């Protein structure tokens, strides 16, 4: 019975898996190249994590500014409504002002 195929394990005494005799130092060069790629990838991932953290801080700051703007907009709207109502009262014809006072008194 034969062993199951595994491309990552060398076959019967061969380091390359193709039946050629092992080359001295070839494994170390391949290992060093793979380790260099891993180190580059780790460096890139660390940069990405740093950038994500900075982006999160900027998003938090933007959210705070948005909340402050919403509060300011509500205050502006209330103030504008008050000014509009006062202007309507000032420029209202006397008969409509009297009707408003009468209806207000009838409520109580």
Confidence of residue 85 (pLDDT cuts 50, 70, 90): confident
pLDDT in tens, 31-54: 999 999 999 999 999 999 999 999
pLDDT at 18 over 70: no
pLDDT of 60-79, one tens digit each? 999 999 999 999 999 999 99
> Half-sphere exposure of 101 toward its Cβ, with a 13 Å CA cutoff?
8
- Which pLDDT belongs to residue 96? 63
In sequence order, what DSSP letters do the residues of 47-108 get, joined into one string?
HHHHHHHHHHHHHHHHHHHHHHHHHHHHHHHHHHHHHHHHHHHHHS-HHHHHHHHHHHHHH-
The SS3 assignment for 15 reads: coil
Q: What angle do CA 104, 105, 108 make, to 5 degrees?
A: 100
Q: Look at 13-22, 51-60, 85-94, 96-105 and tell me which has the smallest mean pLDDT.
A: 13-22
* Every domain of the chain and the residues it spans: 27-101
For the entire predicted model, the pTM comes to: 0.45
């Amino acid at each position: 019975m034969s062993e199951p195929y595994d491309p990552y394990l060398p076959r019967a005494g061969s380091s390359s898996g193709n039946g050629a005799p092992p080359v001295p130092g070839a494994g170390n060069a391949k290992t060093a190249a793979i380790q260099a790629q891993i180190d580059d990838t780790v460096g890139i991932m660390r940069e990405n994590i740093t950038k994500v953290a900075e982006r999160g801080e900027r998003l938090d700051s933007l959210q705070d500014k948005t909340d402050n703007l919403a509060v300011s907009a509500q205050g502006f709207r209330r103030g504008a409504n008050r000014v509009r109502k006062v202007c309507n009262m000032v420029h209202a014809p006397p008969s409509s002002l009297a009707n408003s006072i009468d209806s207000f008194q009838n409520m109580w």
